[in-house]
Amino acid sequence: MDPFAWLSFFLLALVAIATPGPGNLNTARRAVQFGQRRVIACIVGNAAGILVAGALCTSAFAVLIAQSSVVGQVISLIGIAYLSWLGLQSIYKNEPIEVVDASVSSYAPKKLFLESFFLSATNPKGFVFYTAVFPQFIDPLGSRIVQSFIIVVTCAVISLTTHSIYSYFAAWTRQIFLVPARYRLFRQITGGILLCIAIGLFIDLFAPF
């Protein structure tokens, strides 16, 4: 891959991934709830979701999505439904902020990993980004597999870095939310934002072109 092409892609992906969205917001809310160390599972899960989704969109699966609008819509609806569920859970489910040691927490790292993985892997905006942007940076004269690998790994590394930064600053605010009423309000606000994002994605999905 041409170094200039990679740099151009890196800058574009950095803006797309670092811009606040459902993945970043989910990592931030979990960092407030559990602290930065526990949220590592979220960060890794999000990057793993990007690797899987990106790999699918650079393979023959991308052709299937491009040729069948139904397949793309089904994948998008699954992501929207999951995002909506996370938003409603944040608003209505009673999950107090944890101030105890991670070893006695009832919320397993595996659950945090899978939560972020599924959110990232089914993100409708992510699929649009992968299928529309990736081909623009593939040199037809070079190895498609190698270039796709570089592009997907670049996105995963950016995700690991930016989500780590989000989690650091979110965890830093934990002291503010140790008051139950404040933390409950925080959960309701973040849940509402997740729901608004899901509604916006749903409207975009079926809006006339």
As for how many domains the chain has, the answer is: 1
Q: Which domain holds residue 127?
A: 3-206
CA distances from 86 to 79, 138, 173, 191 (A): 11, 35, 22, 7
How is 10-40 classified by DSSP, letter by letter? HHHHHHHHHS--HHHHHHHHHHHHH-TTTTH
Alpha-carbon span 159 to 181, nearest angstrom: 32
What is the predicted pLDDT for the residue at 56? 80
Query: For each successive 10 residues of the chain (209 residues), what is the average pLDDT?
Result: 84 84 87 87 93 79 60 74 82 70 62 91 78 75 83 92 91 80 81 84 71
pLDDT for the residue 165: 92
